[in-house]
A and B are shown apart, each in its own frame.
Chain A
């Protein structure tokens, strides 16, 4: 069966520090991969999605970047965190193609202080 892992579960980082969140998927190949952010009191915002290794699409201008170095690995990064980067970050995957179901990881709670 397929599983998705996200880590760390919680993270407290000072303003200006770098960030690296990792997401891996097991039990499937060539998945679509997504990073979402859920800010307090707001809905889920799509940040990045990827349909293959090295293929990253960005949905909103921001202080973040994403990379997909391997087929089932998706990394969210920042060189210098801002207070506004605080939030709940969720990774998701779906089978390549249309009309497929999306599955989410357990999320990372990031607090920038």
Chain B
């Protein structure tokens, strides 16, 4: 059974810092990995999708990497802003079209 872990569970940083969020998964037989953002009381917004054959994806200040063989992904946020404050979730897609989610990292960027 796939298990996804995100570290740290919570993170508080001053504005302007570069930061790294970590995601690990136990079963490397994934089709893709997706990073989401969730604001309090809201749904999930897709940030980046990395196919299993890819190593990284970039969107603006966000860069996500994938090391499928070691079961790891990182989300790099450059020059963090207060508006980046949210919970960040990673999820992996396995056979059967099922997404398995990590517990999330709750990020607070202080002005």
Contacts and interface: CB of A to CB of B under 8 A. Distances in A.
Which applies to chain A's interface (DSSP): helix, strand, loop or mixed?
Answer: strand
B91 interface: yes
Given A99-B31, A99-B52, A94 B46 contact: no
A101 B46 contact: yes
Interface residues of A, number: 26
A103 B46 contact: yes
Q: Report, as a range, how many residues of chain B touch the other chain.
A: 20 to 34
Interface stretch (A13-21, A62-70, A79-87, A105-113): A105-113
Interface of B: 31-32, 34, 36, 41-46, 49, 51-52, 89, 91, 93, 96-104
Question: Closest 4 interchain pairs by CB?
Answer: A104-B44, A106-B43, A44-B101, A104-B43
Interface of A: 6, 32, 34, 42-44, 46, 49, 51, 57, 59, 88, 90, 92, 94, 98-107, 109
